[in-house]
Copies of this chain bind each other. A is one copy, B any other.
Amino acid sequence: MIVEEKILELERRIKQLEATKKKDQLSMVVFSGELDKLLAAMIIATGATAMDMEVKLFFTFWAISALRDKEKRAEKKELTSKMFGAMLPKGTSDVKLSKMNMAGAGLSMLKSLMKKKNVASLEDLLQTAGELGVEINICEMSMNLMGFSKDEMIDYPKLDYCGVGTYLSDAEESAIQLFI
Cβ B106 vs Cβ A87 within 8 A? yes
Interface centre among A36, A78, A179, A180, by most chain B C-beta atoms within 10 angstroms, is: A179
Cβ A84 vs Cβ B99 within 8 A? no
Contacts of A60 in B (CB 8 A): 40
Nearest-CB residue, chain B, relative to A34: B99
Contact with B along A101-128 (1 / 0, CB 8 A): 0000010011011101101000000000
Interface size on A, residues (CB 8 A): 69
Cβ A168 vs Cβ B164 within 8 A? no
Contact of A10 among B11, B40, B177 (CB under 8 A): B11
- Is A75 engaged at the interface, CB distance under 8 Å to the other chain? no
Number of copies: 3
Q: Say which one of A17-25, A66-74, A149-157 lies at the interface with B.
A: A17-25
CB distance from A180 to the nearest CB of B (A): 6
- What would be 14 A-B contacts, judged by CB atoms less than 8 Å apart? A3-B7, A10-B11, A10-B14, A17-B17, A29-B44, A29-B178, A31-B37, A36-B62, A47-B164, A47-B165, A62-B98, A84-B113, A168-B176, A171-B176
Interface residues in chain A, defined as those with a beta carbon under 8 Å from any beta carbon in chain B: 3-4, 6-7, 10-11, 13-14, 16-18, 20-22, 24, 26, 29, 31, 33, 36-37, 40, 43-44, 47-48, 50-51, 53, 60-62, 78, 80-81, 83-84, 87-88, 98-100, 106, 109-110, 112-114, 116-117, 119, 141, 144-145, 147, 163-165, 167-169, 171-172, 175-180
